[in-house]
Structure 1
Amino acid sequence: MNRIDLTQYRLLNILFHYRWPQFLIRAIALAGLIFTILAGLFGTRVGSHNFATIFVWIAWWSALKLFFIPLGGRSWCSICPIPLPGEWLQNRGILSPRGPQTLRGRAWPKALRGHWLQVGTFLLIGLFGAIILTSPNATALILVGLFILATILSLIFERRAFCLYLCPIGGFTGLYAKLTPPKIGVKETYLCATHTEKTCYHACPWGQYPLALKSSANCGLCMECLRVCPYNNIAVNLRPWGAEMTLNSRVHLDETFLGLVMITTALVDAAIFLGPWGALKSAAYALGSPAWWLFATAFLVTAIFLIPGFYALAVSIALNLQRSTQSLPRALNHYSPILLPLGLTAWIAFTINFAFTKFTYIPSVISDPLGWGWNLLGLSTSPGPGEVPFLGSLLQIVILAIGMFWSTNIACRQGETLRSVVPLLFFIGGVGISMMWLLVG
């Protein structure tokens, strides 16, 4: 498998080894987070004129799906400011690595491990998404809640418990990091085998051991293992997209369900914000009304039962066609890699339609971030939403087609016979074509 080790390039190797470049970026991001919270709490209530909603849900959310995840996997986690104060308190210093001085916390309860809590937080975002995406106050309160929760958990539990088990963005980026190029690895396995101190494991905020790291899902690319390795034996590899899908790494049911929830949320968001049903959009905004409760019930039924049910039916038929004795839960996990390209490309295509039409608001809120009538840079205007041009619609179709082809290729590789793959192709085609219809019409 072709790989490029980025540590062979001197400048990149220096940037990886020193903590201060990463700290500087995270400190700037932390200052931006605090300003965003203040803007959401004290700025205008009009979402399209407030820094909080525009920069969180248009600029950052778009950059995460279009740049950070496709090119860098969990690279956002390496500069995320939310766990930063808790990490400082754990390490008892700002630039201090994990070590003897680290605050000793409890292990996260085994019953709460995995992705189930992240599934729950993402379902909550789906339920209240229409409010969150348009309300500066709601955006600020969510950021404050995540910030406080991450800090408190850092004082109680060891390592990055919040990032691993609770953060919805961590679940989102970790799931799709399996498709992306970056991956931490070791250069010479024998050096790790003979190194009894395991400084890389003890220094890792995520609790990962590079020699045993098979999946990128739980590696936050913090580079701490690289910095403490006495043999300079840690590699930062770039591999082909989807290379991890060929490794047959073990998948659990919580991860499979998370992939299904991500697909469902993309479909529902496309239906709410871009679909032709005005009543659906109104119901999603009418928090607490009978219409909203009907929407919430329909969303939860779709996310928990309908889409997973279609997937389970497709897998069950595939098992019968290939006359396999494999249990259904194991088969659901076995075929779950098909969900990743399908989900990621659905989110990218949705972002092109949803966010690109609203990029015209960004210059205005830079000049007047609180909506108080300022014009700091002379860019404060009253922009309206733009339109997705023909090339944008064509790009969406191409991206969704790539996702469907990619998932089909994985299904054919995972299936024992071509006939047994047919039900999965119906599932893939149903999701992809539905998304295409919602976005392009």
Structure 2
Amino acid sequence: MKLFSKYNRINIAVSIIVFLVGCAAFYFVLRVVLIRQLDDALHTEQTEIIAYVQSHNRLPEVVNAYNQQITFTSIEKPLRGSIYISEKIRDREKDEIEWSRKLIFGITVAGINYQATVTKSQVETEDLLQMVIMVGAGMIALILLAGYVINRMVIKKLWKPFYTTVHEVEQFQLAKQQALQLPVTGTNEFDLLNKCLTTMTSRAQQEYQVVKEFSANAAHEMQTPLAVIRSHTEALMQDEQLLQQHNASIKTIDQSVNRLTRLNQDLLLLARIENGQFPLQEKIELDKIIQQKSEELAELLSSLKITCQIQTVPVRISGNQHLTEVIVNNLLKNAIRYNVEGGKIIINLTPQKLIISNTSSLPALEAGKISQRFYRHPETKADGNGLGLSIVKQVCQVTGYTLQYDYQHGMHIFSILL
């Protein structure tokens, strides 16, 4: 859930609770005020009745209006004090039950005790309360709606620099050696974030450049010692007497030199790819490259009794001839190295993708690790250096292709989306 949505939910929920509590408090306070005004009007009637009796020594003539009725009832004992009550009374004209406010007090006229009851309708009070509540509810709804719209517009505008920064960070690639360009937002927090990100990426680029130069230099410097070791190994292999005595040791040295040479070549290739030393505008006939590499490996496939099924159509792409050959060669060698005797390889090429599938004794691989450098499954042979798929992944990144892996029905499936 987005931060804005969380904020909006909390803000709206708290606002609704505050407004509901405020409305309830406002309703009861207003009701008390209106009832008190009604009681004041009843008290005024009581004062007028008492004044009339004191002046004329008789009860006033009762004239009942729509919203006020006065009744006098004789009682035996005088009634002391005044009583204010609210009760429901049936309105005979409207045939409805309505709330009314009553004032009951006692009065004595010519030695006779009476109970005077002054009744006023509360309909107008209740109507006024309802109108005030409806207007208040409408205002609250408008305030909440306006607050939501304003918050959405304002917060979206305030958070725009953040999403700009996220977009720039997503597009940033360490290998391209391009500085991270983040604009000044005018907001202290975002400016601080951008400054920290710029400093961090700049430091990472420097450290990455140092490591990359070290790897390239180390791989380059290893070429001469490797050539010397190889030449001396070949010289030792020419001495039959020495070869008979130390055959196993010399073969181990030769195999190790070969592996180290391949590793050195792969590291140099990775360094050249990362440095962008390959032009990517060449026109390449991918189907012919697949056919050529398959023919080169035909003898090896035959010795391992591996059948290779090829289904291709003419596909012409833009890229680099050497890098494309590296992709096909590495995927085919990978399919052969980890295959089983009597297994099969299926190559399927369409204008959209290249798919190379192979049988294997290995279970499904971890898709997130197969392209990591020097990663090898624990059950794989020790003759690989773990750079083959890493190189394929790196080539795909610089050429705009996508490497995908899947495992279905005992087949390892590697797809290159063109």
Q: TM-score, normalised by structure 2?
A: 0.27
- Greater CA radius of gyration, 1 or 2? 2
Structure with greater strand percent: 2
Q: TM-score, normalised by structure 1?
A: 0.26
Structure with greater helix percent: 1
